[in-house]
Structure formats: structure tokens, C-alpha cells
Chain A
Amino acid sequence: MTPYDSYRSFRFGPRKSSLARALAKDSPLRRLDWIMILAALALSLVGSLLVWSATRGRDSLTHGDPQYFLYRHLTNLVIGIGLCVAVILLGTRRLRTAVPFVYLAVILLLFAVLSPLGSTINGAHSWIQFGGGFSIQPAEFAKLAIVLGMAVVLSSRVDTGEREFPPTRSVLQSLGVAAFPMAVVMLMPDLGSVMVMVVTVLGVLLASGAANRWVVGLLAGGTAGALAIWKLGVLSQYQIDRFAAFANPALDPAGVGYNTAQARIAIGSGGLTGMGLFHGTQTTGQFVPEQQTDFVFSVAGEELGFAGGLLMIGLLGVILWRACRIARQATDLYGTILAAGAVTWFAFQAFENIGMNLGIMPVAGIPLPFVSYGGSSMFAVWIAIGLLQSVRSQRPIGI
């Protein structure tokens, strides 16, 4: 089969009614992965309800308007979908050439955060505030930039056919591309995001076909580094306790231990079908701090129960399964890496976020993709959906 350019057929094909064209076998709409899009949309809408439930009583945040966060979340969703469509329309190829500029722009944003333009929320200097209550968190976009940047570097020698696998030089370059924004995010410090980035880098390297030694080396290096930090006493006991508080909330009862304990009570009391939206006592009573962002899953656990929680994990599973399929079916390594990077990013971030809600992962300030309140996260994940769609659009029809 020959590579297929959808736009050409769109422009020069026989004229049909727009509906017919949209439904035609070769229609670009038919080339989209609607299952993934619907899953992401469903997850985002469920998220808007959960965010609503978590915030409608928090007058200090909502300025007295119970629907404030609902509307903001839906606005973010609409913008996110718009960005997604833009990415699809732009197409993989044009984007591929624009990656260096995207990367540079993100780096500039990151530096802006460190400059006096940035502001601090919850101890992390990670935000840029705009007027009117709008702010962005460039670390979310840095995840995108890393995946895009690494994909371009790693695939360059392979997609041109020079090499079967990314050569050492490409691997080192790609690690450099990843390390730079990670270092800046680390300085904020936003360790949760760095954690997601490290795992995403691993996933990207794995999918790129880089030699085993790189994957294993990076794993070993990371583990050794973590061990060294712990053993060399760089961290105080307080910090270690804080980190370990997810397993034993009593270690840090006033800090994250409180969050963990309250989130666990919320989820645990949900039972099979939950207490019903807006009827969770933990949520209504605002016992779980940061419940609209990092601990949004606890709302689902309490008010929608095991069924609702499982549904959300299932929807995430659908997105990840479709993304894996896209990675396997991509026509070039660039597409494979993009898709696999997005899979690793989503999967780990979701696992970490839900895991900390369930008390099996340490608490880190990262949002649950699609669900948590937060514009930057919403934009970043929908852009990633757009990237996945455009990678899919490249593959021949029929696969």
C-alpha cells in the first residue's frame, strides 16, 4: 500500500454532499479513533461533575458561585478539544517540523515561571498568572515537549532508513532534550511532574527500540539515585516520613498523612455504588483537601462507589488500549514513539494519582488526566489526544 494523503483526496475527489463526504470510507472523520475520543470526552465530563461536587460548597474558592468550577472545567474542556482539533488539522508532518519551535516555546514558558512572572501555589513555584484568574502551569506542557522532542531526535536516523535502531548519539541527544526541561521543573520544585517525566522518558526509550543497555541503565541509574538520596541522608526524617505517609498516614498526620487518611475514608465509605453525586459526607464536609485537583478521584470513590471508580479506570483503560494500538500501527517510529510516550505519560500519571488516592502511592501533586480541575493539564492531555489521532490518521485505511 502507498502512504495515503487524506487532504488530497478531500480536495480533488468527486463532489458529494458534506454528510456523505463526512461518512465516506475515506473521510478524515472516519480515520479518527472515535472510541478513544468518546472515552476521553466521557472521562472529562465525569470529571466536570466530580469537580463540581467537590467545589460547590467551598465558598472561599468559588466566590459564592457553586457552579464556578463546573463552568471553568467545561470551558477548559472546550479549549482542550479545540487544541486537539487544531493538532489534527495541522497533521503529523507539519507538526514534526514545528517541534523545535514548540520545544523552545515551552522552555521559554518554563523560564518565565522561574522569573518574577511566576507564582507559587502549594509550595511549588510552578504557575504563571494571567489577569482574570487565568493561570498556566508550564510543567504540563513540558511533558508534551519532552515526548515530542525525544520522538523527533530518536526517530530521525531511523525514519530516514539510516539505522534500524536509534544510535547512541541520538539517545544521548534525546536524553539531553528531556533533561533540560526536567531540570527546570525540578527547580520549581515540582517533583511530582519530574517523576512522571522520568517514567515517560523510560517509556519513550523503550518504544524507540534503543539498546537494552539504555533502558536498563536508566532504570538502574534512577533506582541508584533514589537509594543514594535516601541512604546518604540528604533528606531529613521529616521528608522521608512525608514521603512514606501514603502507607502509614500516622507518620505525617497534619500534612499529607491527613490528606491520605481522609481520601481513603472517603473512598472506603463509598461501597459498591457510592452515596450518590453530591451526597458524599466526606466531600460535602470538605474533609479532603485539594479534592477538585489531586484528590478528585476520592469524590468518585465516595459518591459513585466501586462501580463509578471502576468505570473511570475502565475509561482510562480504553484510552490507553487505543493509544497502544495506535503505537503498534504507526507508520513510522516517530508516530510509535509519540503514541507510546503518551501511553506511558497517561498511564503513569493516572496510576500515581489514583494510587495516592487509594493509599498505594506516595502523595505527589499531579492531576488525574481529563478529570482533575486545571486548564494546563486539560489542554496538555487533549493536545496529546490530537497527536494520537493524527498519528492514526497517517496509517493506511483498513488497518
Chain B
Amino acid sequence: MSNIPETGRTRRVTIRLVVLQVLVLSLLATLGGRLWYLQIRNGKEFTEKAQGNHIREVVEPAVRGEILDASGRILAGNETKLVVSVSRTALLQQKDKGKAVLTRLAEVLGVPADEVRNKVRLCDAKTPQPCWNGSPYQPIPVTQQATTQQAMQIMERREDFPGVTAQPTALRRYTNAEGASAAQILGYLSPVTDEEVTKTADKAGRERRLPSDQIGRAGLESVYDDDLRGTTGVDRLEVDNLGRVIGSAGNTPAQSGNNLVTSIDARVQKVVEDQLAQAMAEARKVYDKETSRNYIADSGAAVVMDVHTGRIVAMASAPTYDPNLWVGGISAKDYEALNSKDSNYPLINRAIQGQSAPGSTFKVISTTAAVQAGYDLNGHYPCPKSLTIGGREFKNFESESFGDISLEKALEVSCDTVFYGLAYDQWMKDGGLKPKKDAQDWFFKTAHEFGLGAKTGIDLPGEVAGRVPDRQWKQAYYDAMKDSWCEQAAKGGHEYADEIARENCADGNQMRAGDMVNFAIGQGDTLVTPLQMARIYSALANGGTLYRPTIGKAVVSPDGTLVRDIAPHEDGKIPAQGKLLEYIDQATAGVITSGTAAWKFTGAGWPQGKIELHAKTGTAEVAGKQTTSWLTTYSNDYAVVMTISQGGTGSGGSGDSVRRIYQALYGVDDKGNIDNGKALLPKPQAELPKFNPDGTAIVPTTFSYEPGATFLDPAPPAQADQPASVLLAAVAPTRGGGYGRGRA
């Protein structure tokens, strides 16, 4: 007992107690250290995580601005729909991955459970439609047609429908105002892609794309997206672990987008759309001797432009489609249909994206080129039935001969051989096959000065530039094609194409006489868009100014105050001025009264003495296809251009329809009587529409165009009356681009 101390501890125990104490101390120190590490050193990281944990951003989409016509009619508006959406994130947090919820939802909506389930599954290579191909974090719309009762059932039994929301949502609606679709002008919206969301994730406010956003992808919706879009509202909600809202962390209210007032007149637009369709339908009834079948009239375009401002009053493209297919997400089937050969790609706006050779409508440019090159406006030029140039015979239409005629007459009767001769003469002066260094190239130069080969700059996306097949283009094209030409030439075949390849391989970069004379009559490799022609003919009408075509007229805030005026913009002057312009004016008026279009205008009762029209017809050759019909016209106020691919002759294919458009604009009946009360738009609408205090436009109560009432006169064209509209049968195919075919 002696070595047991009073305190009951041996030395060993004492040491061990100290060890224990040290151990305890180090455990506590460890905790303290770890606490410091988490809270002080890495605190920021966790603070952010906690933020993301308990703050949910609920996005309130801004109401998109409306697109209005010149009188304030709504072309693209909004309508409120009850949209039921499902959050995949919320579903996956449930024990059965949301199966029960979806089944209940299907019951409420009265659709099979599979249908709902399929709609919210994610698309991948193996999943057939329907499936969701947007962001997996975005609520997926299950239906946009929910009834109020269905929505109430869902929102009142929230505990039964975790992750399901039913909200009134403003959806785009393309209204078909006055029956006008304007599909390709308006364009369409589609949801943002994941990529766009991530790309703008670090931006703030309007710049930032949210997964629920819709973006204008085509037409005015795309170009004026910034104006129309508005600012998305964000409600920052504090939520608990089950997503129940327990507070608010501030919100930014949504701001509606601005409205866009356009220069489109819905009624005129309707007439133009109808007349384009009508012209194509009529063309399909006409027999084409060359191809031994009726004209196909596969596509077409028409443009009505205000000549004094460049504003577009109407613009139609055929075939067309229903823009409402895009609203609320286009189905895969519809999308495929819109992008297929069978439908002939109705999304294309052929007024700005369709290009073809202008044929004789180009001759106003050739005339200007000739005058620029120094030929006398009052001179007389031979119009034989044919000309032999470069070893080939270039004929007039139906081998007609007019003797020595003025340029005015040449335009009026569309004499090709006059322009062949002038172009050939110029080509020789520029050195022929051995071009001078300072070659004048009057014809190419003038074409460029008329704005060809370049985009007009219209406020629509995807415009194409067309082509002026000048020396630079020739060389560039040769450089690109040389190898394949020479390869085909080396095979030694004797087909026509092989011969062409052989020639092209040898000297395809040369500007040959044939190329030059073909260009002078708007053939060969020349390509233009209907809009370019409308702009050129507007310039002829307005004294020579090339305006930048516009559709947007003004941006107006939701309450109707002007935000931004979109003023007409002069891009330059055409080289035809003064006397020359008067001369062309006269010649193109002659086309209406006694020229190639006379049978469709004064011959059909057009009151030329009261409302003077000017026109040029064109019938352009296309390799392997039927001829393209062109009719380019203007009055003192409007330029109207219509073109139909594989539609026959210029006057035959589009004459009636273009005249009817003028009839509707000016209120002219078939007998030539003018009733201003029935005129849709005798003068372009200059003023902006007036707005009510609530921001809605005050639409004038004007009558609408009644198709078929007085303007439609389906008088079949009498074949015998057909004057010498330009048919380029005599034009030998150029060797260059392969356009034109060997009809001679």
C-alpha cells in the first residue's frame, strides 16, 4: 500500500492522463483549424454555394413588341395562353422520378400518360419524337392550350404537382391581318440554344439570354429582335430544400418590348400575295412549246416599293407557309416539311434571296451604259434579225427585224441585236480577247452603279448580292473551277458538256465576245434579286436616286411614343440622269402603250392617260429549266416587280397580276375607271399611325380589298396578240457559266 499515493494515482496513470489531455486538446485544435479553413479561408466559395442553394430565379418573360403595318394593323402580336410546364429538375428529385406526378398531370389534362411522359424526355440520338430538345433546366411546356379549369386544378393542388406550373403566357401570334400572311417578312422566333445561354451567362440585363427566351431567327423578328424583345423580369425567390418559397430577395419587373411600325400595308400585301399566287396558277395553265409541257411556275416573288423613300409596301414570296407553325416550338415534322424539296423551301424569301438572270429588264442598264460609253441617244442603230459574233449567230426573238431604230424603240420592242451590236463594239474597243489595261467596261461599270452585284442593305436577314459577271468575277470563277473543267476535258468525251469543259479549261478566264453580248441583254452569268430590280426601277421613277430599301419605319414604345425613326436613306444616284432618264421614262411608258406589255395594260383597259405606268418585260433563259418571267414596272409612286421562276414570258406570266396590283393601289376597275374611294393606297402612307393612350394603334376604318370583286379578270391571254416579248431563243449559250441552253 505504501506506493499508492493518496490521490489514487500511480505515476503511470498520471502520465497517461497527461497523454489523454494532450490528445483531447489536439482533437479540439483540429476542429478549430478545420472550422477556420471552412469559414474563413474558403468561406466565399460556400457563401456562393449557399446563394445558389436557396435563391431561385423565376423568370418573367417580357411581352414581345408587336409588328405593325403602316396604318397600325397588327401583323405579329401576342395572345395569352395558359401554358403548363414541367421542371425536369424537380421531377428527378422525386422518389419515382416524377412518374406519379406526370400520370396525375395527364389525368388532369385528359391525355394519355405516355404523351406527357414523352414530351418531357430529353432528345438524343435514340429517342424518337416527341422529346424535348431545349435546355434540361428550362421548364418544358407540356401544353399551351390548357383550360382555366385545368390550370386551377394544378395550381390549387400544388403538393400533388411538384415541379408543374400553369401560367398565363404571352405567345406570339401572326395575325394574318387583312388576310396577309407576310410570312417571310415577319420571320419567326425559336428558343435560345444552350450555347447562347452559356455564351451570355456573364452578361447582365438585356444582354443575358435566359433559357426561357425566344429569339427572332428570321425576317423582321430577327433584325429588330433587340427592339422587340423587351427586358426579361427576374424574381429572386428564397426557397427551402423542397423548393417552397420562404421569402423574396428582390425582383426586377419585366419590361415589354417596343413595337415596330413597318411600311407594309396589310391590304396591299394581301393583294400582292394573292396576285403572285394567281399569276403562278395561271402560268401553270399555259403550254410551253420549248419544253412541251405546261409551265411549272415553281416559285416567285413580288415587291411593291415606295419609289420616293425605298420603303417596302408589300413583299411576297412563293411558295409560302404559315408562320404560326413556329409558335410554341415547331414540331419536327413541320420543320422537316418546311426544309424539304417537296415544299420547295418556303422559308426562303425569294424577293431578297432568290436570284436569277434579269433578262431584258436589264436593258435599261444597257441603254444607260451605251449612253455613258458615248453612243448618241438620238442615233439610230441596226436591229437585224441576227448578228454573228465570235463565230456564233445571235438572233432576235422570232428572228424579227426592225431596221435601224432608236434606243428608245430598241427598249420598247426589246430588240436584242441593237444591244448585241453595242456591247460587241464596246468589247472590241476594250481590246477584245486581249483587253486593254484601261478597259472601260462601260456595261459592267454601269451595272455596278445601278447597285447590282451588291446587297441593297434592306432590313431583312440573309439577303443575297446577285452577280455582275465582270472580268474579276470571271477570273475568280475560273480559278475555282479550272481543275474540274480540265479534268472533264482530259477525259476526251464528245458530249456538249465536254466541249464546253474543254473550252473553259483552255481560256475560261477570258471575257469573250459572247459573254459580253449576253450580259448586255441580262443573260449569261448575270444574277439579280427582285428587290434589286425594284430599287433600280424606283430610281428610274424618282429621278435617279437609289434608296436603301427598308421595311421598318419606326420603333414605338409600348405606350405609343416614338423611340426611333427609321428614315429613308439615299445610297447614291444611278448614272442615268436628266435627259437620259426622261428618255428611258418614255421608252418604258411605250412598253405599256405599244410595247411588249401593252396587251396586258392599255390593251386591258389601263387608263394610261390618267395614271402613267412604265414597264419592262423580261424572259430569262435558265439552263435546264423553263424561262423566268420578269415584269419590272413603276408609276409615279410605286415600283412593282414580279418574277416567276419557270413562269413563261414577262408579260404573259406576270402582266395581269401586276396590273391588278396597280388597279388595287389606285382604285382602277377593269374598264379603266378610277374610283379614289376604292383605292387601297393611291399615295404611300407617310405618317406614322396614331396611338391610343394604352399604346394600341388607331387603325383607320378603311375598306379591305375584296378579291375577285372588280379587279380579277381572268381573261385568257390571246396567243395571237402576243407581241414580241423578248424570248432569247436566238441567244447561243455562253461558254462561261453554263447558263442558257443550246436552243438555236
B43 touches A268 (CB 8 A): yes
Return the contact of B8 from the options A266, A333, A360 (Cβ within 8 A). A333
Bound CA span A334–B16, Å: 15
B52 to A, closest residue via Cβ? A265
Return the contact of A309 from the options B30, B35, B43 (Cβ within 8 A). B35
Return the contact of A310 from the options B4, B35, B47, B54 (Cβ within 8 A). B35
Q: Which residues of A contact B12 (CB under 8 A)?
A: 165, 209
Check: A161 CB closer than 8 A to any chain B CB: yes
Closest chain-A Cβ to B238's Cβ sits at a distance in Å of 7
B240 touches A207 (CB 8 A): no
Give residues of chain B (19-45) contacting chain A, Cβ–Cβ below 8 Å: 19-21, 23-25, 27-28, 30-32, 34-36, 38-40, 42-43, 45
Give residues of chain B (37-73) contacting chain A, Cβ–Cβ below 8 Å: 38-40, 42-43, 45-47, 49-51, 53-54
A286 touches B241 (CB 8 A): yes
Check: A287 CB closer than 8 A to any chain B CB: yes
Check: A317 CB closer than 8 A to any chain B CB: yes
Bound CA span A272–B40, Å: 6
B8 touches A271 (CB 8 A): no
Q: Which residues of A contact B53 (CB under 8 A)?
A: 262, 265, 281-282, 285, 287
- Is chain A's interface secondary structure helix, strand, loop, or mixed overall? helix
Check: A354 CB closer than 8 A to any chain B CB: yes
B8 touches A313 (CB 8 A): no
Known: A208-B13, A287-B240, A324-B21. A265 touches B49 (CB 8 A): yes
Check: B286 CB closer than 8 A to any chain A CB: no
Return the contact of B34 from the options A330, A340, A358 (Cβ within 8 A). A358
Give residues of chain A (301-324) contacting chain B, Cβ–Cβ below 8 Å: 301-302, 305-306, 309-310, 313, 316-317, 320-321, 324
A286 touches B240 (CB 8 A): yes
Q: Which residues of B contact A348 (CB under 8 A)?
A: 27
1/0 contact trace for A65-104 toward B, CB 8 Å? 0000000000000000000000000000000000000000
B4 touches A271 (CB 8 A): no
Q: Which residues of A contact B54 (CB under 8 A)?
A: 281-282, 284-285, 287
Check: B6 CB closer than 8 A to any chain A CB: yes
Check: B673 CB closer than 8 A to any chain A CB: no
Return the contact of B47 from the options A207, A268, A284, A286 (Cβ within 8 A). A268
Q: Which residues of A contact B28 (CB under 8 A)?
A: 313, 316-317, 320, 347, 351
A394 to B, closest residue via Cβ? B8
Check: A269 CB closer than 8 A to any chain B CB: yes
A336 touches B40 (CB 8 A): no
Check: A270 CB closer than 8 A to any chain B CB: yes
Q: Which residues of A contact B46 (CB under 8 A)?
A: 264-265, 267-269
Check: B1 CB closer than 8 A to any chain A CB: yes
- Is chain B's interface secondary structure helix, strand, loop, or mixed overall? helix
Check: A344 CB closer than 8 A to any chain B CB: yes
Closest chain-B Cβ to A222's Cβ sits at a distance in Å of 16
Known: A206-B20, A328-B17. A265 touches B31 (CB 8 A): no
Known: A57-B246, A330-B7. A320 touches B240 (CB 8 A): no
Q: Which residues of B contact A208 (CB under 8 A)?
A: 13
Interface size band for B:
35 or more
B238 touches A310 (CB 8 A): no
Check: A156 CB closer than 8 A to any chain B CB: no
Check: B10 CB closer than 8 A to any chain A CB: yes
Q: Which residues of A contact B122 (CB under 8 A)?
A: none
1/0 contact trace for A325-337 toward B, CB 8 Å? 0011111111110
Bound CA span A203–B25, Å: 14
Known: A164-B4, A324-B21, A336-B13. A285 touches B31 (CB 8 A): no
Bound CA span A335–B17, Å: 13
Check: B14 CB closer than 8 A to any chain A CB: yes
Known: A165-B12, A268-B42, A285-B239. A354 touches B31 (CB 8 A): yes
Bound CA span A203–B16, Å: 9
Bound CA span A336–B246, Å: 52
Known: A328-B9, A340-B20. A267 touches B14 (CB 8 A): no
A206 touches B19 (CB 8 A): yes
A355 touches B31 (CB 8 A): yes
Return the contact of B39 from the options A57, A281, A306, A320 (Cβ within 8 A). A306
1/0 contact trace for B226-263 toward A, CB 8 Å? 00000000000011111000100000000000000000
Known: A271-B43, A281-B238, A324-B17. A209 touches B35 (CB 8 A): no
Bound CA span A165–B4, Å: 10
Closest chain-B Cβ to A183's Cβ sits at a distance in Å of 26
Check: A343 CB closer than 8 A to any chain B CB: yes
Check: A33 CB closer than 8 A to any chain B CB: no
B31 touches A306 (CB 8 A): no
Check: B3 CB closer than 8 A to any chain A CB: yes
Bound CA span A209–B53, Å: 52
Closest chain-A Cβ to B70's Cβ sits at a distance in Å of 54
Bound CA span A316–B20, Å: 15
A336 touches B9 (CB 8 A): yes
Check: A290 CB closer than 8 A to any chain B CB: no
Check: A1 CB closer than 8 A to any chain B CB: yes
A282 to B, closest residue via Cβ? B50
Q: Which residues of B contact A159 (CB under 8 A)?
A: 8
B31 touches A347 (CB 8 A): no
Bound CA span A261–B39, Å: 14
Closest chain-A Cβ to B447's Cβ sits at a distance in Å of 67
B50 touches A265 (CB 8 A): yes
B47 touches A330 (CB 8 A): no
Closest chain-A Cβ to B246's Cβ sits at a distance in Å of 6
B13 touches A268 (CB 8 A): no
B47 to A, closest residue via Cβ? A269
Q: Which residues of B contact A264 (CB under 8 A)?
A: 38, 46
A313 touches B32 (CB 8 A): yes
Q: Which residues of A contact B32 (CB under 8 A)?
A: 310, 313
Q: Which residues of B contact A320 (CB under 8 A)?
A: 24, 28
B35 touches A358 (CB 8 A): yes
B17 touches A340 (CB 8 A): yes
Return the contact of A207 from the options B13, B38, B40, B51 (Cβ within 8 A). B13
Known: A269-B49, A269-B50, A309-B35. A161 touches B1 (CB 8 A): yes
Bound CA span A284–B53, Å: 12
Q: Which residues of B contact A329 (CB under 8 A)?
A: 7
Listed in ascending order, the chain B residues whose CB lies under 8 Å from chain A are: 1, 3-4, 6-10, 12-14, 16-17, 19-21, 23-25, 27-28, 30-32, 34-36, 38-40, 42-43, 45-47, 49-51, 53-54, 238-242, 246
Known: A302-B50, A355-B30. 4 other contacts (CB 8 A): A158-B4, A316-B28, A317-B25, A395-B7
Interchain residue pairs A-B with the least CB separation, the first 4: A268-B46, A332-B8, A269-B50, A285-B240
Listed in ascending order, the chain A residues whose CB lies under 8 Å from chain B are: 1, 57, 158-159, 161, 164-165, 203, 206-209, 262, 264-272, 281-282, 284-287, 301-302, 305-306, 309-310, 313, 316-317, 320-321, 324, 327-336, 340, 343-344, 347-348, 351, 354-355, 358-360, 395
What are 9 of the A-B contact pairs (CB < 8 Å)? A267-B39, A269-B49, A271-B39, A272-B43, A281-B53, A282-B50, A284-B246, A313-B35, A336-B8
